[in-house]
Amino acid sequence: MRVMGHNALAIAVAAIVFYAIEFVIFGVLIPGDQYMVLTGLNADQGDVARMPYGVIMPILTAIGLSLVIKWRNAAGWMGGVATALLIAVLFAFSTSLYSYVYGGHTLEYLPINLAHFLVCYAAAGAIIGAWK
């Protein structure tokens, strides 16, 4: 199903895969107490009630990737991956650096966060590019 020239199913699957990868990284591989130390959070700052809103970011990211992949006229899954990796580094990771420079993220968290962006964006970009 296409919406304004975009494959809605590809966007939905990309968002689900993006969210699933994040869950594995931040919910399974990194224990909660270690994550809090890496990001400079304390127990008072964690609000479990906000967790359901976590699905919004992968949905918006998948929509944005679909737009950029279409604008760039990137061909196939490799075109989607290449485009997504550029966006991951130049926008997502660079924006997250504010939390290191001005916030509580530690130096040890930076490579984890970069890897998270690269894997998630590459997977989403491959799905959207392949189903373009």
**Domain housing 60:** 2-130
Q: What is the pTM of this model?
A: 0.92
Query: What is residue 2's three-state secondary structure?
Result: strand
Domain count, the chain: 1
In 3D space, the residue among 75, 59, 68 whose CA is nearest the CA of residue 129 turns out to be 75
Per-residue pLDDT of the chain (132 residues), as tens digits, is 878 888 999 999 999 999 999 999 998 999 988 988 898 888 777 677 888 898 999 999 999 999 999 999 998 999 999 999 999 999 999 999 999 999 999 999 999 999 999 999 999 999 999 997
